[in-house]
Amino acid sequence: MSLAVLRSRALAGMEAPEVSVEVHLANGLPAFAMVGLPETEVKEARDRVRAAIQNAGFEMPAQRITVNLAPADLPKESGRFDLPIALGILAASGQIPTTPLRDYEFAGELSLSGELRPIRGALAMTYAMHRSARSKRRAFILPLANADEAALVGDALIYPATSLTQVCAHFAHRGDGSGALQRHQPAAPALAPDYPDLSDVKGQAGVKRALEVAAAGCHSVLLVGPPGTGKSMLAARFPGLLPAMTDEEALEAAAVQSLSGNFDAGSWKARPFRAPHHTSSGVALVGGGSVPHPGEISMAHRGVLFLDELPEFDRRVLEVLREPMESGKVTISRAAHRADFPARFQLLAAMNGCPCGYHGHPSGKCHCPPDVILRYQGRISGPLLDRMDLLISVQPLSPDELEAPANGETSAVVAARVQQAWSIQQARQGKTNQLMGTRDIERHCKLDREGRAVLRDSMLKLHWSARAYHRVLRMARTVADLDHSSAITAHHVSQAIQFRRALLDM
């Protein structure tokens, strides 16, 4: 047979559309043509495949070889098509049987010796294959290094291999089991994520309470204070306050990380914590490239994005966060195609109050003029600041507090209360308070007369926007949930208002 058709997967954002790898052998001078919108890495497969076939002990056909990657309008990139191309050539030339190939999908990069190298996006491809109604019965053959992450998709048939020779032996075995690939068994469940503990932080009871509220309602936080007050230390412990990830959330987060090629199966169900440097570009944060790749905000999906030294980021870079914070996704458009990546992250940021860092310090060592302080704080635009739920002042500890032993609540104790609040929100509206829309707020955030008066006075005094008004209502609802109160009282509203006054009080 001079024609062989195999199945593989491309990557287009979070999607992994099916690709038909069609290999045709024809008479004529030996040539190797590849069509179907392949990128440079795919075009280079002809040399890798030729060497791998020969070094694996097979014969490279001295014919005109045409490889078509369909659909033709879908860009194909990376070396994941090496394995199906090589198998297609061997099947079309009659060196391996063709009938069993229809029950499998293939992905893997070949070395010149014929060994299989790991690829990126294995989890995303397996997830897409498992969801596809047309490929429910198909198994997936891929490199051994990608087996653990691919096996995270429940009930998926994963057959890992280490070389082209081993894959060919799987299709050439005679039914006695010799040479057949074995289905990969998922690794043992990982231990519970080991986050830094909140009890390590001395003092800062008010800030810890604010982080508890932020975790309970999935609110964004800006920590403001002098250097050395523990802002970064508190931020590192924030993921440990969040509820455990569900299987669906963990799969979403793992699929995004798989696209970057650095997913570790040992971090399964650990909340992502991303802390990009302040020199990062806008593309690094939101993603991009000729073939779009996820950025830091997508890598933080279902986890925490921590931006330390917030005013040191380029202002234009920070502005790209505004839409994803509201929509929970980012769309990267190119001339040929468009890619959508999820970005449902919880933003946690930290900053000093002035260029020298000591504005508001009890020692009074800050001598920055008022206009310099305002200009420094003005590096964060009003619209972005308006999207921050909690603006918390972090003050330095006294010598007595530093000398005292750390005996605060552990992360597990706080996380238990946060979990209860999340459960209340899921039972009431099916989502966290941060995701409530206008109608949800009107239904679930009703205030009594005293609470309305307190909120109205603050709104008039502080000149809040409608967005800030709704954010305070969401926070007040979260405070009430932590108190197991069905009604939002003036006390809950007052706490929510205090959580937005950090820059005003400095």
Domains and CATH numbers, the chain: 3-172 (3.30.230.10), 198-505 (3.40.50.300)
Long-range contacts formed by 266-269: CB under 8 A, 24+ apart: 266/190, 267/190, 267/193, 268/152, 268/189, 268/190, 269/190, 269/193, 269/244, 269/245
Question: How does strand 18-26 pair with strand 3-9?
Answer: antiparallel
Q: Which two tokens stand for residue 504?
A: 């005003």
Pull the structure tokens for residue 439: 């109608």
The torsion angles phi and psi of 163, rounded to 5 degrees, stand at -155, 165
SS3 label, residue 454: helix
Tokens (6 digits) for 195 = 């986050």
> Would you state the pLDDT for residue 136?
63
505 closest CA partner among 391, 374, 407: 391
pLDDT computed for residue 174 by the predictor: 55
Q: What angle do CA 53, 59, 64 make, to 5 degrees?
A: 95
Task: State the pLDDT at residue 185.
Answer: 83
| The token pair that represents 285 in the structure block | 């944060």
- pLDDT for 347 equals 95
Please give the model's pTM, rounded to 2 decimal places: 0.88
Q: Rounded to whole angstroms, how far apart are CA atoms 504 and 486?
A: 31
What's the residue count for the chain? Answer: 506
β-sheet bridge partners, residue 35: 68
Q: For residue 145, give Cα distances in angstroms to 28, 76, 111, 159, 506.
A: 39, 22, 14, 11, 53
The residue behind tokens 């238990």 is 416
Element (H or E) spanning 92, and its range? helix 82-92
Residue 215 tokens, joined:
């975790």
Q: Which residue bears the tokens 């679930």?
A: 444
Run of H or E residues at 347: strand 346-351
User: What phi and psi values does residue 117 have, to the nearest 5 degrees?
Assistant: -105, 150
The pLDDT, as a whole number, for residue 280 is 93
How confident is the model at residue 506, as a pLDDT? 46
Cα(471)–Cα(475) distance, integer angstroms:
6
pLDDT digit of tens for each residue in the chain (506 aa)?
Answer: 589 999 999 988 888 999 999 999 999 899 999 999 898 889 999 999 999 999 999 999 999 999 999 999 888 888 999 999 999 999 999 999 988 899 999 999 999 999 999 999 999 899 888 877 555 678 999 999 999 889 888 888 999 999 999 999 998 865 555 678 999 987 766 667 888 999 998 888 899 999 999 999 999 999 998 998 889 999 999 999 999 998 889 888 988 988 887 777 778 889 999 999 999 999 999 988 777 889 999 999 999 999 999 999 999 999 999 889 988 999 888 766 778 899 999 999 999 989 998 887 888 888 899 999 989 988 998 889 888 999 999 989 888 888 888 778 899 999 999 999 999 999 999 999 999 998 999 999 999 889 899 999 988 888 888 888 899 999 999 999 999 999 999 999 999 999 887 554 54
Amino acid, single-letter form, for residue 132: S
Residue 308 makes CB contacts below 8 A (sequence gap 6+) with 231, 232, 235, 275, 278, 349, 350
The vertex-260 CA angle with 181 and 388, nearest 5°, equals 140
CB 143 within 8 A of CB 117: yes
Q: Which two tokens stand for residue 159?
A: 């057959």
430 torsion bin: left (phi>0), alpha (psi -120 to 50), beta (else):
left
